[in-house]
Homo-oligomer: A and B are copies of this chain.
Amino acid sequence: MKILVINGPNLNMLGVREPEIYGSLTYDDLVKFIEETAGSLGIDVDIFQSNSEGEIIDKIQGVDAIDGILINAGGYTHTSVAIRDALLTISLPVVEVHLSNIFSREDFRRHSFISDIAVGVITGFGEEGYRMGLIALKKIVGKK
């Protein structure tokens, strides 16, 4: 089983950005956490980060031998119809994850263009959300 993990804009700045919201975890820490968690779950992961909406779409379109997608689209969550459309072009289960609780921040973060086409959404649990997303995808893929 192989999962594509997509991290959108500014997630590479983790540990730098707004520590009172995201804590001191760095992006390298997050990558290591995802890899180790996936390993312990028996899941292969392809972890991808980009600040570019177009590159994220390219990556989604290029999936090969992938069983599901775990996506934290960052700021594009709230503005990108194009990423939504890319996720619709491939017939794979999608899980949306956010490190912080997007519902307790600015109003414009309450709307996601991904949520209604995802299997489910996990928000507010920091890196732990990625573990939860991988567990969920494992179950979902396993059921098919």
Contacts and interface: CB of A to CB of B under 8 A. Distances in A.
Q: How many copies does the complex hold?
A: 12
Nearest to A120: B124
Interface residues of A, number: 61
Given A75-B83, A101-B116, A122-B132, 15 more contacts: A9-B85, A13-B89, A16-B90, A51-B54, A53-B54, A75-B81, A75-B82, A81-B109, A101-B119, A108-B113, A118-B124, A121-B122, A122-B123, A129-B136, A132-B135
Contacts of A16: 89-90
B101 A54 contact: no
Interface string A77-90: 11111111110111
